[in-house]
Amino acid sequence: MRPHRAYSPGLTGVLPPEEGRHLVEVLRARVGDRFTVFDAEREALAEVVDLGPPVRYRLLEERRPEREVGVEVVLYVALLKGDKLSEVVRAATELGATRIQPLITRHSVPKEMGEGKLHRLRAIAKEAAKQSGRLWVPEVLPPIPLGEVPRVDQGLLAHVGARVRVREVLDPEKPLALAVGPEGGFAEEEVALLGERGFVPVTLGRRILRAETAAIALLALSTAGEGR
């Protein structure tokens, strides 16, 4: 069986049904095969002892790899057209986000998200965590109106009119909140509201980026000092 990581909360010795089905039906695992299990705090080398269902395993070697940013990183991102939010969730997971909060904004074309899409985004986050070697699977939350964003200790807001650079204001030791608008950007009153909540407008460079690219760029610039 090729190298595989399975999400198993608590490392209890029993795989969740979806993970077990993938191991048996897709990867054709056999008793004695080895793979990696992980949860939010640790990972371990494991060995299949029963194909079930449920699939059971035993732990062989526990590990505590340092692959997280080290502080909470919350991404507030406006609802985007089509499947662009999937791209953002995947990249945000790889770049270290701990929570992803979709927003309903003035210029958002979608104004809601169905349960099916929310479930799919959560599955994408889990798969991205597996692929990238993370222990933490980011929460993907139901959308909220922008007005419900709480005050934050440290917030950065991607804004075309800003001149401040991320590195000039970022404190890598403090929890971080990032905000990115929709295709039409945040309305000026939304920028002002987020400013009152603790978000500092920052530039992402001289070029105008697509909304999904802006979210990825802001995360990359903010988490570049991994292992801090």
Give, for all 228 residues of the chain, the pLDDT tens digit: 557 888 888 888 999 998 898 888 888 889 999 988 888 778 888 999 999 889 999 998 887 767 777 789 999 999 998 889 999 999 999 999 999 999 999 998 888 888 999 999 999 998 898 888 887 889 999 999 999 999 999 999 999 888 899 999 999 889 999 999 998 889 999 999 999 999 999 999 888 889 999 999 999 999 875 433
Answer yes or no: is 227 within a domain.
no
Domain that holds residue 53: 5-63
Q: Are residues 110 and 170 in the same domain?
A: yes
What are the φ and ψ backbone dihedral angles of 119, each rounded to 5 degrees?
-60, -40
Q: Are residues 18 and 83 in the same domain?
A: no
Q: Are residues 157 and 199 in the same domain?
A: yes
Q: Which residue has the tokens 């090729």?
A: 2
Rounded-to-integer distance, Cα 111 and Cα 88, Å = 18
Rounded-to-integer distance, Cα 135 and Cα 126, Å = 10
Answer yes or no: is 228 within a domain.
no
Considering the entire predicted model, what is its pTM? 0.78
Number of domains in the chain: 2
